[in-house]
Structure 1
Amino acid sequence: MTTSTDTLPAAQRKTTDWRLQGACSTHPDPDIWHATGATTQSRSDLDEAKALCNSCPVRQICQDWALTNREAYGLWGGLTEGERRRILRIRIADGLAEPRKGSRPRAACGTPSAYDRHIKLREPVDDACRAAHARASAEQRARASQQKPASLEALFKAHTKRLYGGHLAWTGPVKPSFKGRSYNPKQVAFIIDRGREPVGRVLNDCGNSECVLPGHVADDSERTPCGTRYGYQRHRKNGEDACDACRKANSDADNRLRRTGTTKQLAA
């Protein structure tokens, strides 16, 4: 049985493994590959990391690996997170790359979803998509004017139904509105259950992507506790300074990824 070199400790892997040849593998401060450029020091760190990447002997391999594996965070092969996302969007639009596994197929033109995609990607909007968007907006306004619930709880009860297996389905508008503010269904479920506004995204963890049962949803603060790499990423997304526990967890995970190909700790 063959064993992938990606899962072996660095001392046991082949000396030809590109990760061992990277400039980042021996650098004393791995945090510079996560600099955002938001401050003077951060811009300095980012410039230093980019300079090291540009002179790295495995820069292209590292860059291709990050694009292929959809690595979401950090500088890889000299490309920032935003630069990689732009390259992937272009490749997907040109048919040179597949959308992320599990993602929904591209909506056909002439639908509200296709209109939203054109706007997001700054593409020209065709007449069919513009007309579909106008119809959907008019229908949404008509539904909203017909029913004005007295509370978020009433809104939630009026637009949900029980499903087999203990799940709860949303049957109302895609973006329900209450007192002049728009929500998504999972946000409504979270607020009426927790009694507070969610932090970041609200997602479910029950395996049914359409479920809005309050007990099956959680926001970023509940899914990504401090002291983990995901907690560090939550700080980044919210524009916060990462706490010491999250910085250490991310540095440890990043070191493992750059040296072994996985963020998971290997068994002794």
Structure 2
Amino acid sequence: MTNSINSLPAEKRKMNWRLQGACSTHPEPDIWHATGSTAQSRSDLDEALALCNGCPVREACLDWALTNREAYGLWGGLTEAERRRILRIRIAGGESERRRGGRPLAACGTPSAYDRHVKLGEPIDDACRAAHTRASAEKRARASQQKPTSLEALFKAHTKRLYGGHLAWTGPVKPSFKGRSYNPKQVAFIIDRGREPVGRVLNDCGNSECVLPAHVADEAERHPTATKQLAA
């Protein structure tokens, strides 16, 4: 699988197996990198597979991809997952060496080695499994210790933008700050208005989950006249 090289002379194309691939003259080389489950992606992948199956240099293409551990795209008619399976079998049988060069492989007994074993489908030794368990526990401990220093920090840490200008709450249902529990809309109101809300805080944007401060209001803002009369 190569990119389009139509501009090269015919004699130069004969010098390299890549230049003889069925994909080398295709107007849309991206179909060899089709991903996803949409009908269009599936159609692109089927087209690429059909071209690979009839390609005169399919074996050379696949051999190159396996030798160089090509991680992405369709090569020699095989997907990334299919090539990884072949490599695992070859490595297990001693027919192929583990990848050399680049950064040295992390030693067993480290979280990185555990991740490598999982990615390559290799057996996971006890030392790597223990290292992964320790790293996960330490990560959870660090997260629990990083308590927000203000309601504003709490709000920023647990919100995300939505399409249409809305803001979604991603944190706990009843966030707590300095021993007091709030609901997300109350937090949004307080950090924006600088005061405690009167009555319930609701939004008026049509998205019941939205916590954008500009979209929420308390009883005093929704019914200002009635609130003033009750206060009097």
Q: What TM-score bracket applies, with the shorter chain setting the length? A: 0.3 to 0.5
Greater C-alpha Rg: 2
TM-score of the two chains, using structure 1 as the length reference? 0.41
Q: Larger relative CO (CA 8 A, sep 6+): 1 or 2?
A: 1
